[in-house]
Chain A
């Protein structure tokens, strides 16, 4: 059964039982230092990025202050800028994409890791990895030519007639909008979930499965109640990767979201996201406060990612049981 394992940290049998000189001679301290430098580099780069964004957005921060977060106007001519519709659009599209991609992705990963014969699994994995390499421009163009008409002609009317009592599915359906963007994003992030989850599931030791089966579990029960929890943190990690991609995607989103800064309860409404508006307007933005407002939007996205990541981690900790596998997220 799943055991409470702890990862082998720097603490443990090594520290205390060998002197510093001995560790140095054996190369441990050097390796530790070198790998630490690389890990620290990641933090440094991130901090530098935040610093550049901070410095590059001084004008609007002083001019708008907190109002930037709660205003809905985006007017480059009269220099009035507010981030609310973009924050809304980013959160909504990322949520839709995860709601669609996570069950599908984990399901597919389980199939590939547990049920499919090894050869089939490997070959299919190659192809799924290719999905991650498709340029976002191509996803965008495919979204325009295939997904939008599909939405407008079939899917959105179907949803309206069956679930139209919910405010989520009301209002005119043009084909573009939050929902379409969420679907396109879901397709783009699925390969990350499948790829990483499948590998982690494959690395779960055989004896875990066999122990469950020996105790009378069905195949599904052994998978869902033993193997998957064992691979929990890895699967969570893959979802973080997917979330990050969904939050930061620009090109594909801007081609299918309708690019209208509105806040609406309807998923069929056109909207806008932070990454999309930066990509659309940055190259043409002239005038200091306009440019810097776009950079401030980048900072806002950073903050959003920070908060969403924090919430997700809290969720993991809150639902974490003892015996749920390795380490922390």
Chain B
């Protein structure tokens, strides 16, 4: 073995180990955060937490049932706004558009992505609260949906573009129209990535507080329908974590844990329900 080969092999082993180190660091940080939440919040998790409304200070037995339902409703609305726009917009960029239009749309999406969540909240307030003179779940869903769009759009576009040329050409050769190719070949080939993009966007908005403060406001009680202010887990965490009361701090940690649990469950369900056989071979 020449010296040069030995060196190259050494570099290879070293660098690959370093990547392992990077992965370990990321995972360690995550487990640390999770551990902290579990340690501080698990005592407050009980059946009451999931079924009861918040109790007045000093009383035990309260819960965050309305916040859990509220977060669910808000995320549903956000997905209805964010996923179609991101997904279909990405299809346009990847399959139909010229490069100038694609550049402009991508740039706009990146700009939108960089807007602080509080500014998105103010924007949604101007559009969806002020004209109607009340706070509502719909306004909150809109704000969160707007935040989902850039992540979904940009990532989905990347994964659509990553579908190998030969798959497209094969479909063309068989006489399929563009629409059919997209629906039956390209999207299924990229579905894993698209799912990742959507779930990432979902995770991002699930934990956002600032946009909700001016749109969905918050609610100590149940919020029937879509036109009233609603409670949500991030807002409850925000209110309780920054209060002087130890009992509320514990509940904030518990709410954080429940929120992560919710996202994990959605993640698992989504991948399980939409699972198909592997269409692009992994190496």
Contacts and interface: CB of A to CB of B under 8 A. Distances in A.
Contacts of A42: 85, 89, 105, 108-109, 112, 149-150, 153
A246 to B, nearest CB: 9
Contact of A130 (B16, B165, B213, B263): B263
Contact of B19 (A31, A41, A107): A107
A306 B114 CA distance: 9
A133 B256 CA distance: 10
A145 to B, nearest CB: 9
Contact of B165 (A5, A36, A200): A5
Given A135-B209, A203-B159, A35 B92 contact: yes
Nearest to A122: B271
Nearest to A242: B113
A103 B117 contact: no
Interface in A125-156: 126-138, 141-142, 146
Interface stretch (A43-51, A64-72, A166-174, A259-267): A43-51
A240 B25 CA distance: 22
B118 A282 contact: yes
Interface in B139-161: 146, 149-151, 153-155, 157-159, 161
Interface footprint category on B: 35 or more
Contacts of A104: 22, 25-26
Interface in B99-125: 99, 101, 103-120, 122-123
Given A31-B182, A32-B96, A136-B209, A38 B116 contact: no
Interface residues of A, number: 114
Contact of B159 (A108, A199, A278): A199
Interface in A245-300: 245, 247-251, 274-275, 278-279, 282-283, 295, 298
Interface stretch (A74-82, A157-165, A219-227): A219-227
A301 interface: yes
Given A196-B200, A237-B158, A248-B117, A138 B177 contact: no
Interface of A: 5, 7-11, 13-14, 23, 26-28, 30-32, 34-36, 38-43, 45-47, 49, 52-53, 103-108, 110-112, 114-116, 118, 124, 126-138, 141-142, 146, 187, 190-192, 194-196, 199-200, 202-206, 209-210, 218-221, 223-224, 231, 233-234, 237-238, 240-241, 243-245, 247-251, 274-275, 278-279, 282-283, 295, 298, 301-302, 305-306, 309, 326-329
19 contacts: A27-B180, A31-B91, A34-B88, A35-B92, A46-B108, A52-B123, A105-B26, A108-B26, A111-B16, A111-B19, A136-B207, A200-B193, A203-B163, A203-B192, A221-B12, A233-B158, A278-B116, A282-B122, A305-B115
Q: Which 5 A-B pairs have the closest CB atoms?
A: A107-B22, A35-B92, A135-B207, A220-B12, A244-B113
Interface of B: 8-9, 11-13, 15-16, 18-23, 25-27, 29-31, 33-34, 36-37, 84-85, 88-89, 91-99, 101, 103-120, 122-123, 126, 146, 149-151, 153-155, 157-159, 161-165, 168, 172, 177-180, 182, 190, 192-193, 196-197, 199-200, 203-204, 206-210, 213, 233-234, 237-238, 241-242, 256, 259-260, 263-264, 267-268, 280-283
